[in-house]
Chains A and B, each alone.
Chain A
């Protein structure tokens, strides 16, 4: 009786929610094919802006930086996060240490990104004073991204590790497998879906980040989101629409891949 009426309301609210999420993305995508150089009035279909973006040196360098940042930080954080997950899950730590480790891992997740960024800026300044290194640039950005990615990778991998019973390890031990063999030949192949999912998540998070990149970047390490943000100060342009649409498309593909992978992990 009332179920139908309620679900009707739910459907309407869902439509509103989807509109709230997709309206801005739709506007960007549609206007990226608009011939008009200024303003938002429709003046015919064109793909010129995409061609122009691909030949724009500054944009291409920013795209390259974005990719370097995402790939570099993902590689490093996947390694560190996986090791962390293995070390935490496969050893019975004293309760207090286990608690401290859990707090440390959750710290990057509960810290508002602007505080996280501020702390990193302070860290790099102090380290620069101490060592002379850590000049703001792509390297500091990679360090910054790794710092928030580690946690996500560790949590995803640990979730996968928990699905593996101890019998397999015990069997390997009984057959005189050393720790190295145990990890490389038994555990790693078993948790590989978890590692891949963690890496994909880390990659997506890197592309999604703006605030932390913005704080820790130098003049030569402009990424696409930073490029867009600073261009907006000079007003909107069709090239920015095109770049944004490309970013959205890549993200959507990553999200689809991530979801199908997570589902595979669960089964």
Chain B
């Protein structure tokens, strides 16, 4: 909100109802969010430094046990499994984000070039699968792959990649479309008039104007990718685990909440680093 909008909209309840009234309006929602998300998140962080007792109970003696386990030190000696899964999660999230952006950018240009009334039609076409339950979409891919014939694709890494791109594509399209729609085409035309090659026109006349949209697209595609567990579960055939699958196992069948919390903390740190990196281009673009 801009300063003037704040000034305009902020005054009335203040004069009439005062602080107590305003607090009354926000209290239920704020308390709800604190009770079910704020405090539990802090608890989750603390839990990462606890351990699981032999009956699944939680022992609150501070320890780095879970992180040692994550680094591969177990009762059977060192194994690289968890580190490998963590690296794979980061890699697949990055690869999916890049692939989504590369497909989403031309789509955004395509939609923005339509007549105004067709644009909303195309946006709807792109949004409907996105609103459909992820389980339904992913299981649809199982069918597609079996229709093609049980080949080397499914179950396996390639199937997971296709599923990940398909399920996150819409995330990338919307923000890119929003900034493509605002492009000042006169800059691109000026570049063209100066005999810029097609690439130069794009590189210097179009791309810089869409950096904010690209940054948003990257971040909102990357974050859900990091925590994905449905797609690798249904399309990877249990052989292509990601952090999301490990977390689900700890909170589900294994009942090892502390280790699950440590894995969650790893994921949160990756998310925060991503958000930090995102700030930079966003700030440069004046967001």
- On whether the two chains bind one another, the answer is yes
- Contact status B142-A236, CB under 8 Å: yes
A265: min CB distance to chain B, Å: 13
- Contact status A24-B10, CB under 8 Å: no
A107: min CB distance to chain B, Å: 6
Chain B residues numbered 230-285 whose CB sits less than 8 Å from any CB in chain A? 230, 234, 244, 247-248, 251-252, 257, 260-261, 264, 267-268, 271, 275
Residues of B within 8 A of A189 (CB): none
- Number of chain B residues close to chain A: CB under 8 A: 100
A interface bracket (residues with beta carbon within 8 Å of B): 35 or more
Chain A residues numbered 63-98 whose CB sits less than 8 Å from any CB in chain B? 80-81, 83-84, 86-93
A141: min CB distance to chain B, Å: 12
Mask: chain B, 33-76; 1 = CB below 8 Å from A; 0 = not: 11111111101100100000000000000000000000000000
Q: Is the interface of B mostly helix, strand, loop or mixed?
A: helix
B192: min CB distance to chain A, Å: 8
Residues of B within 8 A of A229 (CB): 135, 230, 234
Whether B26 sits at the interface, judged by CB under 8 Å, is yes
- Contact status B140-A244, CB under 8 Å: yes
- Contact status A24-B103, CB under 8 Å: no
The answer to whether residues A27 and B147 also contact, given A90-B9, A112-B224, A161-B9 and a CB cut-off of 8 A, is yes
Q: State which of A112, A116, A210 has its C-beta within 8 Å of the C-beta of B133.
A: A210
The answer to whether residues A248 and B136 also contact, given A28-B143, A125-B257, A169-B12 and a CB cut-off of 8 A, is yes
The answer to whether residues A81 and B29 also contact, given A10-B109, A120-B40 and a CB cut-off of 8 A, is yes
Residues of A within 8 A of B144 (CB): 23-24, 27
Chain B residues numbered 1-48 whose CB sits less than 8 Å from any CB in chain A? 1, 5-17, 19, 21-26, 28-30, 32-41, 43-44, 47
The 3 closest A-B CB pairs, nearest first, are A24-B140, A87-B25, A112-B227
Between A and B, 18 residue pairs with Cβ closer than 8 Å are A10-B109, A13-B107, A20-B162, A80-B28, A83-B25, A84-B25, A91-B13, A91-B17, A104-B33, A105-B33, A119-B37, A121-B257, A147-B37, A209-B133, A225-B135, A232-B142, A240-B139, A252-B131
Taking Cβ atoms with an 8 Å cutoff, the residues of A that contact B are: 2, 5-7, 9-11, 13-14, 16-18, 20-28, 31, 40, 80-81, 83-84, 86-93, 101, 104-105, 107-108, 110-123, 125-126, 143-144, 146-147, 150-151, 154, 161-162, 164-166, 169-170, 173, 178-179, 182, 204, 207-211, 214-215, 224-225, 228-229, 232, 236, 240-241, 244, 247-248, 251-252, 254-256, 259, 263
